[in-house]
Chain A
Amino acid sequence: MINGIKKFSGPLVILLIYVTLFVTRADLATQSSQVAWDYLKEMILIIPPVFLLMGLIEAWIPKNKIQKWLGKESGFTGIIISFMLGTLPTGPLYVAFPMTATLIHKGASYTNIVVFLGAWGALKIPQLMVEIKFLGLAFTLLRFVLTLIVLVLMGKLMEKILTKKPAYQR
């Protein structure tokens, strides 16, 4: 029981905020619940297949393959693979975190993980189309190139910091 409460402490706090908001600002609370409901519908469609895919990767793809493609020694090829995997139209960022955990577990390097997550969030192909339409080609191209450079640098830096000590704890 206590364990259950502890496990769901996050959602409980959120629920409390919603209740308070309903009492104080019913209009904002209604708007927020509407948004949350919309996102819940999306999550119900997207989350189960993503977790199943993760399970398949975990069960089938051997550790040494991931290490070879995305590990510390993968170098430039690893960065390209991470970048391409990230830009595929595969849904919102919250889907990427569980996937990334699987990849790290299988031996992917932090550099590649940061590029993968960054590309997922910032450089998705359908998203770029919208950006070109509303902010122009020059803006989009420049942001794309700069973001990609920054992501690689960020990844290298985080790799250095995180592998110094035994970092990744679950």
Chain B
Amino acid sequence: MYMSVLRTSKSKSEIRKRMVTIITIYSLLAIGLIASFIKSREKTLKACKIAKNAFTKTAPSLLTVLGIVGLTLGILTADTISHLVGAEAGIGATLIAAVLGAITLIPSLVAFPLAGSLLRSGATVMTISTFVTSLVMVGIVTAPLEIKELGKKFAILRNGLGFLAAFLIALIMGALL
């Protein structure tokens, strides 16, 4: 049932969201580049050079992340996730939800309808908030890039603490809602 909901909501709003992102980034870039070019040609060229070097350095990690995203989303589809999390209450479902949330990188326009339908079909607030929070706070898939850019220690701490935080937030939300 929700697959159809997901598809329709994805195609239209997802495209609109992507357009907003792209327009924001390119307008910022255009303003920045023009201002920079007027002020100093050399510095603009320097900026381009920095960008090129950073890009070459990051390209392999970006490709890795791309491949992992494909694998996780290709294998862990919305259907599979709703099947795994299920409509049960209890610690088991919450743990599975936390792990799935940490592993996957689902666009919010797919994730929230999925979470909503699970909630309506009987999953607890705690399970759903664990899933949502760990989804947005922990990124195993993007970890190779995070490690490359910010160091292993930073990445492990941020994701590890984020994972714990997901449970903490879920406990409070489960108690209050």
Residues in A lying within 8 Å of B, measured CB to CB: 7-11, 13-15, 17-18, 21, 28-29, 31-37, 39-40, 42-43, 45-56, 58-60, 88-91, 93-94, 97-98, 100-101, 104, 110, 113-114, 117-118, 121-122, 124, 126-127, 130-131, 133-135, 138-139, 142-143, 146-147, 150, 154, 157-158, 161-162, 167-170
Would B139 and A121 count as touching, CB distance under 8 A?
yes
User: Which residues of A have CB within 8 Å of B63?
Assistant: 8, 10-11, 14
Number of interface residues of B (CB under 8 A): 79
Would A35 and B149 count as touching, CB distance under 8 A?
no
Would A121 and B60 count as touching, CB distance under 8 A?
no
- Evaluate whether A142 and B176 lie within 8 angstroms (CB atoms) in the complex, with A31-B74, A43-B62, A51-B51 already known: yes
Residue of A nearest to B168 (CB): A150
User: Which residues of A have CB within 8 Å of B136?
Assistant: 121-122, 127, 147
Stretch in B82-90, B91-99, B106-114 with 4+ CB within 8 Å of A: B106-114
Neighbour of B119 across the interface among A52, A58, A135, CB < 8 A: A135
User: Which residues of A have CB within 8 Å of B52?
Assistant: 51, 55
- Evaluate whether A126 and B60 lie within 8 angstroms (CB atoms) in the complex, with A100-B150, A150-B168 already known: no
User: Which residues of B have CB within 8 Å of A121?
Assistant: 136-137, 139
What's the Cα separation between A55 and B46 when bound, in Å? 8
Residue of A nearest to B28 (CB): A53
Smallest Cβ distance from A18 to chain B, in angstroms?
7
User: Which residues of B have CB within 8 Å of A131?
Assistant: 108, 112, 132
B77 proximal to A (CB < 8 A): yes
Residue of B nearest to A51 (CB): B51
Smallest Cβ distance from B171 to chain A, in angstroms?
10
Would B74 and A32 count as touching, CB distance under 8 A?
yes
Would you give 8 A-B contacts (Cβ < 8 Å), ordered by A?
A10-B61, A17-B71, A46-B22, A55-B52, A88-B24, A100-B150, A101-B150, A135-B115
- Interface of B, secondary structure class, is helix
B81 proximal to A (CB < 8 A): no
**Shortest 10 CB-CB distances between A and B: which pairs?**
A32-B74, A36-B70, A14-B67, A55-B51, A134-B116, A10-B64, A55-B47, A122-B136, A59-B47, A31-B74
B12 proximal to A (CB < 8 A): no
Residue of A nearest to B16 (CB): A126
Apart from the given pairs A29-B74, A93-B105, A101-B150, 19 other A-B contacts in the complex at a CB distance below 8 Å: A32-B71, A32-B74, A36-B70, A53-B28, A56-B29, A56-B33, A56-B36, A59-B46, A60-B47, A89-B21, A91-B25, A97-B146, A110-B154, A118-B162, A126-B108, A142-B177, A158-B154, A167-B154, A168-B150
